[in-house]
Structure 1
Amino acid sequence: MHINNTTFTDETKSDTSSDVDEAKSIQRDDNKVEPESANEYISGDRIRCPECDGDTVASADGSKTICSACGLIITEDEIDRGPEWRAFDANERDKKARVGSPTTTLMHDKGLSTNIGWQNKDAHGQSVSAEKRRKLKRLRTWNERIRTQGSKDRNLKHALGEIDRMASALGIHQTTRETASMIYRQALKADLLPGRSIEAVATAVLYASSRMDGVARSIDEVATVSRVPTLEIKRTYRYIIRELDIQIPPTNPIEYIGRFASAVGCDDETKRRARALIQQATSKGVHSGKHPVGIAASALYAAGQLCDAKLTQSEISKAADVSEVTIRNRYREILEASEGVTSP
């Protein structure tokens, strides 16, 4: 009996150990992901989540593919291609960045040359000696000469400075300034500048870029900040667009409404009514052969009368820089062209 009990116990232990090993083997097989099974979750260009079959999205830096439903990280790029430092605002990012600003067409050398600062201080912020100040002054002089060695470089530098000055005075944004600089570079490359002043060509290309980008600035407004007469600007403008074959779309009077309305302080309802009046007048050809500034000013005055905005012709005349006679004449034409509205 004792031997039989011992034998039975050994057999039981052997069976139990075998069952445990088999269970562990099954558990390992369940946890193991077969390499070919990953392809089952790729459908075309879309990767599905292997857990919940949900859609996946890429992380902000593009290094991870994450399930949008359960948050599981599907794939991860082990190489961090970003900087080794962290920044929490734009100023901190600019201080830690070790690269310069991108190239720009607003500078004659596109911002690729070295610029020596005007401050006579060392790396620790301490003022340098008189001898080093004289040396820095000579270095700045030679640096400017090297940056503008040729006549075309000097021409371009002066012209881009004029474009930036006039655009700042008119409140024209960066995109339009870049368009103007590109047109000037094309004119310089096509050798269209001989016989014309740099200021005239710079003013003409700024006006052309304003019209191309839909910026509401009349040629008279541009002439107020220029150093050349209006007649010369008009001649140069026609010459540049003809020689470079630039297609300038007609000016839409609606583009002036926002600026004029802000100048006289009218409400949004009046601005919407003015734009609607211009659209109706344009559809019937009232604007043909007439200055868009006068059309916009008259439409704003007409909208003020219809909305009881109490806008005077004098206020709009000063804001739009047109005569009150022009406003009265166009005002009647706009109202007559409007549907169901006649002039009083």
Structure 2
Amino acid sequence: MATREFFERDFDEQHDNSISADDCPECEGRLTTDDGETRCTDCGLVIEACRVNRRGPLTFDEDDTNRERTGAPITEARHDRGLSTEIGYKRDGKGNQLSSEKRRRLGRLRREHTRAKWQSKAERNLAHGCTEIARIVGALDLERDHREQASALFRSAQSADLLPGRSIEAFAAATVYAVCRCSNATRTLGEVVSVAQCPREKITNAYTVCNDELGLPAPPQRPREFIPGLASAMDVPPETERHARSLAEQAWAAEVSVGVHPPGFAAGCLEVACHNHGIDIIQQKLANEADVSPVTVRAHRDTVADSREAWSG
């Protein structure tokens, strides 16, 4: 008892990994503390183990967020913001196998939990929309932030009473396209339509309604933003891609590309750059990647080719 009192008097509460060297009560060896366990380095005698850390979670004055240990953060990507309860199947919280009787009981509880999962039809529609947004975001290889923003925009559209009479799948695809328009994710409407579960007309109508009613801060798209994707799809060299971006920038500065379809104009710039570098490409394939017709690509190609002399001068 006297030995413990002597040790606790010399232990540094602020540093949990080392103490001042004292003699071991058994062999007069050196004491050390490692991972909360104090022992003798010579004979291995454990003086104290499993010291309780009463300092609590670390907080920082310059950080405004609340760092309480209360589980996963709240997310907009789920209809209940991630606060729902999930009932397991075959194992408990510690990973132990459940008996057949408990599995049957959990099955009945899971069934009733599923029936009472949504409090209203609006909440059920929100869950369906968030699930569709997650699927589209995964198919388009977008980031987690884009999914959060699209889900928040879908909530705003539902709160503004824009969903009645319109397709939930169309609004989910429209919110993803709206987030791509408002962020640095360059995705064409054709790419969104290709992975959506509704026609192009419904998605266009839903995006127009969102843009008009919610006032989306969607900046005008520039043709140079679509050139890297087209160049990668057509497998052109980097110097040709840089030349196409230069043509697109010159056209934007000269206001030649104002009011035209940005992916189609980018395809025209890329075709001119490939012609200047002696690279043969299939115009139909380029038009398909830009989601336009070959006639549109040829028209923009001629516009860029005719305007090059004015830009050089």
Range of TM-score over shorter length? 0.7 to 0.9
Aligned residues: 250
1:107 match: 78
- Aligned-pair CA distance for 1:100: 2.3
Paired AA for residue 82 in structure 2: G
Q: State which of 242, 258, 274 in structure 1 corresponds to 2:228.
A: 258
- Residue 122 of structure 1 pairs with residue 92 of structure 2: yes
- Residue 179 of structure 1 pairs with residue 139 of structure 2: no
Structure 1 distance, partners of 2:85, 2:188, is 38
Instruction: Note if contact 1:284-1:337 (Cα within 8 Å) is conserved in structure 2.
Output: no
2:286 match: 316
Q: How does 1:66-215 map to 2 (within 5 A)?
A: 99-117=70-88, 119-123=89-93, 125-215=95-185
Gaps of 5+ in 1: 1-78, 84-96
- Residue 275 of structure 1 pairs with residue 231 of structure 2: no
TM-score (norm 2): 0.72
- Aligned-pair CA distance for 1:334: 1.1
Paired AA for residue 113 in structure 1: S
Instruction: Note if contact 1:335-1:341 (Cα within 8 Å) is conserved in structure 2.
Output: no
Structure 2 distance, partners of 1:264, 1:204, is 28
Gaps of 5+ in 2: 1-53, 59-67
2:188 match: 218
Q: State which of 262, 265, 274 in structure 2 corresponds to 1:304.
A: 274
- Aligned-pair CA distance for 1:131: 2.0
Paired AA for residue 241 in structure 1: N
* Shift in CA distance, 326/162, structure 1 to aligned 2, threshold 3 Å: same
Structure 1 distance, partners of 2:146, 2:188, is 15
Aligned-residue identity in percent: 40
RMSD of aligned residue pairs (Cα, Å): 2.4
Q: Deviations over 1:62-108 (max 9, x none)?
A: xxxxxxxxxxxxxxxxx96657xxxxxxxxxxxxx965222111011
Q: Deviations over 1:20-78 (max 9, x none)?
A: xxxxxxxxxxxxxxxxxxxxxxxxxxxxxxxxxxxxxxxxxxxxxxxxxxxxxxxxxxx
Structure 1 distance, partners of 2:106, 2:222, is 52
TM-score (norm 1): 0.66
- Aligned-pair CA distance for 1:300: 1.2
Instruction: Note if contact 1:214-1:251 (Cα within 8 Å) is conserved in structure 2.
Output: no
